[in-house]
Amino acid sequence: MKKTSIILSALFLLFITASPAFSLLTGEQAPDFTLSDQHGKPVKLSSYAKKFVVLEWLNRDCPFVKKHYDSGNMQGLQKEFTDKGVIWLSISSSAKGRQGFMTKEDAAHFLESKKSAATALLLDSDGKTGKLYDAKTTPHLYIVNPKGSLVYQGAIDDKASVHSADIQSSKNYVRTALEEALAGKSITTPSTASYGCSIKY
């Protein structure tokens, strides 16, 4: 009897170690969250039901993020789609004391100095939302459709590099996915491997 329970607990432990890390599949319901924005105001994902929502993980000091902000590429993409009614939520998951950590004042300054066209910059310094979405890199982008399903997750484009000069010849996955989604089409490339810095949880 005792032996059986030992075997069972060993099996159970095996199961735990072998069970997949939580990972979100494209097509699944995007988990809801509430985070504070640059004004300290709570923002809840599900309050944007009926809209397309982009989630963009950032770390202002990561060279891959700088590539897309210093060139204006990220802001251009934000402007193009927020003008079409898309909600764009930038999210910082850097923990306190780690690279890219932001207070709400830092977040407000970032939005203003970078001329960001994001709807809001949300602060996730405990990393809960980042981990909920299994966000691995900065940048890492997700698109949620008006029904709350995840329709895209991955890289901003197909050129993993830190050089702004590469942007022009890159294929922007997020633009393509948003154009297709807004046109009511299915998304050709719903998932890609994101590239960038690890998130400083």
Partner 1 sequence: MMRYRIHISLFLVYFAMLAPAFASPSHVKATLIAEQKTMEPGKNLQAGLLLEIEKGWHVYWINPGDSGLAPSLEWQLPAGFRSDPLAFPYPERFHIENSVNYGYEKEVLLTTTIYVPTSLLEGQTKLKARAQWLSCRDVCIPGEAELTLELPVKNKTAKLDSKWKKKFRLTGERIPRRIPGWISFAKAKGNLVILTLVSQQQIQMKNLDFFALEEGVLDHAYKPDITFSGNQIEIKLRVDSKRTDPLKNLRGVAVSQKPWVGNSKSLLIDTIIQ
Burial class (CB in 10 A: 0-12, 13-18, 19+), 160: middle
CA–CA separation, 119 and 98 (whole Å): 25
Q: With CB under 8 A, what is the number of residues at the site for partner 1? A: 35
Based on the shown chain and the rule CB under 8 A, indicate whether residue 73 belongs to the binding site for partner 1.
no
CA distances, 122 to each of 72, 79, 156, 171, 197 (Å): 20, 18, 19, 27, 19
Residues 84-103 close enough to bind partner 1 by CB under 8 A: 98-99
Q: Phi and psi dihedrals of 192, rounded to 5? A: -135, 165
Burial bucket for residue 138 (CB in 10 Å: 0-12, 13-18, 19+): buried
Is 63 one of the binding residues for partner 1 (CB under 8 A)?
yes
Who's near 105: CB < 8 A, 6+ residues apart?
none
- Given 15, 21, 169, 184, the residue binding partner 1 (CB under 8 A): 21
Q: Note whether 5 binds partner 1 by CB under 8 A.
A: no
Among the residue ranges 31-39, 61-69, 70-78, 79-87, the one whose residues contact partner 1 (CB under 8 A): 61-69
The answer to whether residue 181 forms part of the interface with partner 1 (CB under 8 A) is no
Task: Name residues contacting partner 1, limited to 117-176 (CB under 8 A).
Answer: 131, 136-137, 153-154, 160-163
Considering the complex, state which of residue 61 and residue 106 has its C-beta at the smaller distance from partner 1: 61
Q: Is 200 in the site for partner 1 (CB under 8 A)?
A: yes
38 belongs to the binding site for partner 1 (CB under 8 A): no
Report, in Å, the least distance between residue 1 CB and partner 1.
29
Binding of partner 1 at residue 190 (CB under 8 A)? Answer: yes
Cβ 88 to partner 1 shortest distance, Å: 22
Phi/psi at 166 (5° precision): -80, -15
Q: Which segment (36-44, 82-90, 111-119, 191-199) binds partner 1 by CB under 8 A? A: 191-199
Q: Which residues bind partner 1 (CB under 8 A)?
A: 18, 20-21, 23-27, 61-64, 98-99, 131, 136-137, 153-154, 160-163, 190-201
